[in-house]
Amino acid sequence: MSTIKNKYIVVVLLSFFSIASFAQDAKNDLMLSMGYYNNNNLTHYLVAHAKTKIDGKFQMVPDITIKFYINNDSAATNLLGTAVTNDKGDAVLMMPPSAKTEWMKSVKHTFAIVSTATKLYDEAKGTVDVSKAKLKVDTTEDKKVIVTLLELKDTAWVPVKGVDLKVAIKRLDGDLNVNETATFTTDSTGSITAEFKRDSLPGDKEGNLTLIAKVEDNDIYGNLTAEKVVKWGSKFQYVSQFDRRTLFARRGHSPWWLELLAYTIVVSVWGVLIYLIGSIRKIKKLGV
């Protein structure tokens, strides 16, 4: 009897382990990647990206809590902060002021990210190496944009040769290249020169345009941008359309032609009707 009991226990335990192992198999691999961003040599932030592969297709993974560390060390003292991935699988962490001391210690840093394990995903890790660099934007009177990429070596900023960068004008929904060349490569002086060929591009009311230079997804420097405001655009004076007589205007501001046409028709037809009501009065008088 006890032998049969033991057999049952073994079967149940085996079933449990097999279910548990199936459950573990159901977990997907979480892939983490990270980017370093430096905007205008002022704002530093890190973006972690979480994705997974389901049915042979990559899918973004939201709601994953990610911890960000400096110096590739997941010690609590190196923790920069935590962020949760959004619908696009991105978690953004602005570099906190408390990290300044650590940041100033070295010209190169390795950032690490660690995701918190969930029911669907195990813990995952990722790192990125960053060398400190900055972009400098200068302009000449003949509308040329000179962008220089500098890297911090010990205590000096030195030019960097052979790096691809873009020079564009910031617009509302994206950036517009300053000319037909999409990408420029820095020379031995760490510079590129781009000719501004977007004349009569509308700027603000004083003709201001914002130039932007960008290094994107560079293996050594990450993502760098630098901006400069120039008065190279045409002046844009905002004229309110609110009181203009248009078909889409508010009440009492319809176009003159429409008012003339509509009121002429209404007055004419109702004039006829009033005349006919007058005829009834005349008929009435004749019958009295």
Binding stretches for another protein (CB under 8 A): 247-251, 254-255, 258-259, 262, 266, 269-270, 272-273, 275-277, 279-280, 282-284, 286-288
Alpha helices in the chain (DSSP H): 2-25, 100-104, 256-287
Nearer Cβ to another protein, position 156 or 288? 288
What minimum distance in Å lies between the beta carbon of 62 and another protein?
16
Residue with tokens 């405001």: 229
- Give the separation between CA 68 and CA 86, rounded to whole angstroms: 16
Min. distance of Cβ 257 from another protein in angstroms? 11
Shortest separation between residue 131's beta carbon and another protein, angstroms: 44
Nearer to another protein, 17 or 263 (CB): 263
Residue 264 CB, shortest distance to another protein, in Å, is 13
Give the nearest distance from C-beta 249 to another protein in angstroms: 7
The nearer residue to another protein, 29 or 243, going by C-beta atoms, is: 243
Give the Cα separation of 109 and 8 in Å (integer): 58
Shorter beta-carbon distance to another protein: residue 26 or 280: 280
Tokens of 49: 């990206």
Residue 104 or 288: the one with the smaller Cβ distance to another protein is 288
| C-beta of 12 vs 262, nearer to another protein | 262
CA–CA separation, 56 and 15 (whole Å): 30
CB 147 within 8 A of CB 134: no
Q: At its nearest, how many Å lie between another protein and the CB of residue 254?
A: 4
> In 56-173, where do the E strands start and end?
57-60, 65-70, 79-84, 90-94, 108-115, 125-131, 133-139, 144-153, 156-159, 164-171
Q: Go through 99-125 and write b for each residue having 16 or more CB atoms within 10 A of its CB, e for each that does not.
A: beeebeeeeebebbbbbeeeeebeebe
